[in-house]
Amino acid sequence: MTKQRTHSARTAWLIVAGLLAFMLLLAGCGSSSDDGGGGKELTKLGKGEGQVDLISWGGYVEPAWSKPFEQKTGCKVNNKVAGTSDEMVQLMRTGQYDGVSASGNATARLVDGGDVDPVNVDLVPNYKTIFSDLKDQPYNTFDGVHYGIPHARGANLLMWNDDDVKPAPTSWDVILDPKKAAEYKGKISAYDDPIYIADAAVYLKAHQPDLGIESPYELNEEQFEAAVNLLKEQRPLVGEYWSDLTKQISAFANGDSEVGTTWQYQYFALLEEGKPMAASPASQGFLPSEGATGWSDTWMISNQAKHPNCMYMWMDWIVSPKVNAEVSEVFGEAPSQSLACDQTADKEFCTKYHADNPGFWKRVYYWETPVADCGNGSSDCKDYNDWVQAWTSIKG
Amino acid sequence: MATEAVAPRRSVGHRLAGLFNGRPRLQVGALLAGPVGWLVIGYLGSLAVLLVAAFWTVDPLSGELVHSLSLENFKTLVDEPVYRDIVGRTVLIAALVTVTDAILAFPIAFYMAKIASRRGKAILVVAVLLPLWSSYLVKVLSWRTMLSSDGIINWALEPLGLHGPGYGNTAVWLVMSYLWLPYMVLPIYAGLERIPNSLISASEDLGASPFTTFRRVILPLSFPAVVAGSIFTFALTLGDYITPRLVSNNQFIGNVIFNNISTNLPLASALALVPIVVMVAYLLVARKLGAFEHI
């Protein structure tokens, strides 16, 4: 018995030692294959390659408009749905995809990492009629070079239950000012993502001007700390952090949440269920006094795209008026194509989502990737990795 | 025709049989090559790759991995108080769930093993297994609905002037205890089944009170089974991240790994080491307590 045990113990140690050696071997020779990225854009559209491999948000590539695309171009659509911006970046780095519908908090990372190529907008005829305030934005155009085609946009609204929250709030202070927010302790709903730190920065930009915040995505040490501390004070008051929208809809419908940040989609979904929801009215420009964060998604093309012609055809297809109207209505966001507003099934759709109201979008800070080198020359901004670490410490 | 087609295949089989005949080592080797290869390369190998990543870092500008050895991630884990809190919370809830399940499971298992009729036994085994037939997510989401402020728990407690726990650590503890209970009942049931009834009769004949019989005979003999069950409940709680997400705002080790996996894989890998270390320590203690003696 004892002899057997020592024998098996020795075997176990041998296995452990072998694994350790294997690990060290791997750690030692882990090669870093870096290529600086292309910078080459397509100059002439050729024949389709027969298929296109996409990464997209759920609801962006649906058979209703991808099947007609296949019939028209002969490019078979293979779609991979990603859950977060981080996942999209990760998937694009595998080099197995032709393109991605990246939000602004992913685009700079993809460009910096050399994972995407510039887009020749002349090869995308429908680009011309895209809302002009979506073009040449800092998250889709870098050093004057276009890196993508705007897909659609949305804003993070302040939503509240009209029966419970009185008087109607006009500012984010109802959930971010520690004193005012205390009244709704345990009933506040906040977005569960590091990018939510930008919401605190938008609030501080208006309420603490001496911090000197310009963009909520370019925060130096002091500004970043102020935003993080504000969210740490908010933490005990938050009833629920939401990341998937069905979770938030159920929380507001049950009365677990009464006030918080939301997307237009959840707001209209709850109204349709007959819940007494309210959001900032037209008299306030549909947004709280500080403005709000939002997102604008961009179709980008991989620098390792195996089917670039099909990808260009897809980028043109998805912003064509009829398709852009369909995809926007399914997802619940404002179309990027100005001609799409005539094609929506719900004729009020563009008005509801403020698609053709540039004044509304002027007060929206679209998601961007926080990077250290933020244009002030000193590279002292907090990068996205810092944001993720801070988010962990905020939630505790 | 048919015999012609079959004949050559047979001879290959014969030759193979001849090769293995009288070579027991070769027989065993060929038999185990598949499963052992899978275990070492597919499972332990990928685990090793994951753990190696714990020593890498991320380039802050491009977000790409820097493949050089460094202990920075482990330093972060030790220095930042938030990670200590998260690890402490996770281990504490895992321990609480384990103790709760052991206390709940023992009487159920004892009734199943020693008191119930054969028919009753079969019904109880099915009843214990039944929750495992439905999806994990459905069960957690049902608890989410029950625990909500308009939920059935608050509705039932309201006449008594009480209020349910709401979402939070208590909710996580409740849901996890519910989820993993079958994994505790079954090993204890199996352990108690093995105790001969004659030992219990003998203890009674020698004048021991029921309590003494339990303390001196049943408990020591079934303890390894309890420890075996606790390995399941403890490990399953330690690794879960969906339940905390759905019924609380608190982060557990799994949540932080999930948040970091795509932006900072090295830190996520370093964090993944924590439950492994905790589990290895737990298994060593369990071995000392004799949990593996009957396996």
Q: Which residues of chain B have pLDDT under 70?
A: 1-10, 60-63, 293-295
CA separation for the pair A311, B259 (Å, rounded):
31
**Beta carbons of B103 and B177 less than 8 angstroms apart:** no
Return the percentage of chain A with pLDDT > 70, whole number: 89
Q: Which residue of A has its CA nearest to B81?
A: A393
Contact A112 B61 (CB under 8 A): yes
A216 within domain boundaries: yes
**Residues A191 and A309 both lie in one domain:** no
Of A31, A87, A255, the CB nearest to B150: A255
Contact A254 B256 (CB under 8 A): no
Please tell me whether residues A160 and A289 are part of one structural domain. yes
Q: Do B64 and A34 touch (CB under 8 A)?
A: yes
CA distances from A327 to A264, A309, A319, A345, B23 (A): 15, 22, 9, 11, 66
What is the percent of chain A where pLDDT is above 90?
Answer: 57
Q: Is B55 part of the contact surface with chain A (CB cutoff 8 Å)?
A: yes
Q: What is the tally of helices (H) and strands (E) in chain B? A: 15, 2
d(CA A204, CA B93): 37
The pLDDT assigned to B26 comes to 86
Domain contains A325: yes
Tell me: do A274 and A166 sit in the same domain. yes
**A384 with A221: CB under 8 angstroms?**
no
| Residue from the list A239, A388, A396 with its beta carbon closest to the beta carbon of B85 | A396
**Residue A84's pLDDT band (cuts 50, 70, 90):** confident
A32 touches chain B (CB under 8 A): yes
Question: How confident is the prediction for chain A on average, in pLDDT?
Answer: 87
Residues A272, A306, single domain; the answer is no
How close does chain A come to B157, measured CA to CA in Å? 17
Q: Residue A250: inside a domain, yes or no?
A: yes
How far is the alpha carbon of B180 from chain A, nearest alpha carbon, in Å?
24
pLDDT: is A9 or B9 the higher one?
A9
Q: Is B158 on the interface with A (CB under 8 A)?
A: no
In this prediction, residue A375 carries a pLDDT of: 67
Predicted local distance difference test score (pLDDT) of residue A39 = 52
Residues A61 and A117 reside in one and the same domain:
yes
Write the single-letter amino acid at B9.
R
DSSP state of A376: S
Question: CB–CB of A26 and B63 under 8 A?
Answer: no
Q: How far apart are CA A66 and CA A62, in angstroms?
A: 6
Residues from chain B that touch A239, judged by Cβ atoms under 8 A, are: 167, 249
- Which member of B63, B65, B150 has the closest CB to residue A254? B150
What is B72-288's CATH number? 1.10.3720.10
Which of B84, B259, B244 lies closest to B175 in space, CA to CA? B244
Same domain, A181 and A268: yes
Confidence at A74, pLDDT banded by 50, 70, 90: very high
Nearest chain B residue to A390, by CA: B82
Please answer whether residues B218 and B165 qualify as being in contact, where contact means their C-beta atoms are separated by less than 8 angstroms. no
Statement: residue A371 has pLDDT above 90 = no
**pLDDT of amino acid A6:** 58
Could you tell me which residues come within 8 angstroms of residue A179 by beta carbon, excluding any fewer than 6 positions away?
Answer: none
Residues A203 and A138 in one domain: no
Separation in Å, CA of A238 to nearest CA in chain B: 8
CB contact under 8 A, B45 and A22: yes
**Measured between CB atoms, does B58 come within 8 Å of chain A?**
yes
In a domain, A289, yes or no: yes
Chosen from A19, A191, A246, A381 to mutate, greatest number of chain B CBs within 10 A: A19
CATH number at residue A282: 3.40.190.10
d(CA A188, CA A259): 5
Assess if residue A5 is contained within a domain. no
Token pair belonging to B145: 């609905």
Are A203 and A144 members of one domain?
no
Record: contact B61-A373, CB cut-off 8 A: yes
Q: Does A372 touch chain B (CB under 8 A)?
A: yes
Cα-based distances in Å from B289 to A6, A13, A376, B81, B206:
19, 22, 62, 33, 28
Q: Is the CB of residue A296 less than 8 Å from the CB of residue A365?
A: no
Query: Do A179 and A209 fall within a single domain?
Result: yes
Which residues in chain A are contacts of B69 at CB distance < 8 A? Answer: 27
Each domain of chain B, given as residue ranges in start order, spans 2-53, 72-288
What band does A1 get if pLDDT is binned at 50, 70 and 90? very low
Domains: count for chain A: 2
Looking up tokens 């004659």, which residue turns up? B198
Judged by a CB distance cut-off of 8 A, whether residue A383 touches chain B is yes
Percent of residues in chain A assigned helix, strand, coil, to nearest 5: 45, 20, 35
Nearest to B263 among A114, A239, A385 (CB): A385
List helix spans (H) across A290-335.
308-318, 321-331
Least confident of A150-164, A332-346, B23-37: B23-37
Domain membership of residue A384 (yes or no) is yes
pLDDT > 50? residue A35? no
Which of A113, A250, A395 has its CB closest to that of B249? A395
C-alpha B66: how far from chain center: 34
Using the Cβ of A380 and the Cβ atoms of chain B, whether some distance falls under 8 Å is answered with no
CB B65 within 8 A of CB B56: yes
Q: Quick check: is A159 in a domain?
A: yes
**A365 inside domain:** no
Q: Assess whether A233 and A380 both reside in one domain.
A: yes
* pLDDT attached to residue B294: 57
pLDDT band at A19 (very low <50, low <70, confident <90, very high): low
Q: Which residues contact A283 (CB under 8 A, 6 or more apart)?
A: none
Average pLDDT over residues A44-58: 90
> In the prediction, which pLDDT does A7 show?
65
How many CB pairs below 8 A link A and B?
Answer: 107
- Residue A133: domain span: 51-152+297-351
* Euclidean distance between CA atoms A252 and A275, whole angstroms: 9
Instruction: Say if A13 is an interface residue toward chain B (CB within 8 Å).
Output: no
**Looking at the structure, do residues A148 and A160 belong to the same domain, yes or no?**
no
Greatest alpha-carbon span in chain B = 87
* Same structural domain, A141 and A159: no
Question: CA B107, CA B282: separation in Å to the nearest integer?
Answer: 25
pLDDT band at A51 (very low <50, low <70, confident <90, very high): very high
